[in-house]
């Protein structure tokens, strides 16, 4: 029986480089998540005062209450309000039709986020010749 042995050297260096790239990618994505979250927050506020049929802001309390909560790693952002009537406007009730203000704001920015994140990640993972 014939055997062949292969010894791969330098795997520590490869592992280190992969970890560095992964950390860099996480930072890039966290930045894109933060930018997009702020954009969604502002667009949601704008939707609450839209003259095209959505309810016009009366006190501004709902718009001011729209907050962003980021995960510890920055890769997730929750955007919303704790005010109960925010959900009533978004989804409607038995007696009030829905006036979505948050979901459309996300829809406006989601594709741009995907494109920016993809481009940034591709750039960070390009192999640089030495």
Q: What gap in Å lies between CA 109 and CA 121, rounded to an integer?
A: 18
Render pLDDT for 27-40 as a digit per residue (tens, 0 to 9). Answer: 989 999 999 999 99
Identify the residue whose tokens are 């969604």: 40
What is the model's pTM? 0.80
Contact assessment for residue 81 and residue 66, using Cβ atoms and an 8 Å cutoff? yes
For 39-97, the pLDDT digits (tens) are: 999 999 988 876 565 555 577 899 999 999 999 999 999 999 999 989 998 999 999 88
CB burial of residue 42 (10 Å; 0-12, 13-18, 19+): middle
pLDDT value for 53: 55
């Amino acid at each position: 029986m014939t055997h062949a042995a292969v010894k791969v050297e330098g795997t520590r260096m490869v592992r280190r480089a992969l970890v560095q790239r992964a950390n860099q990618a996480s930072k890039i994505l966290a930045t894109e998540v933060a930018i997009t979250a702020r954009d969604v927050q502002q667009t949601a506020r704008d939707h609450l005062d839209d003259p095209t049929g959505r309810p016009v802001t009366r006190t501004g309390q709902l718009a001011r209450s729209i907050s962003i909560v980021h995960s510890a790693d920055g890769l997730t952002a929750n955007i919303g309000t704790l005010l109960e009537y925010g959900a009533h406007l978004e989804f409607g009730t038995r007696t009030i039709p829905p006036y979505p203000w948050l979901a459309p704001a996300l829809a406006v920015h989601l594709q741009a986020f995907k494109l920016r994140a993809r481009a940034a990640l591709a750039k960070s993972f390009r192999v640089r010749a030495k």
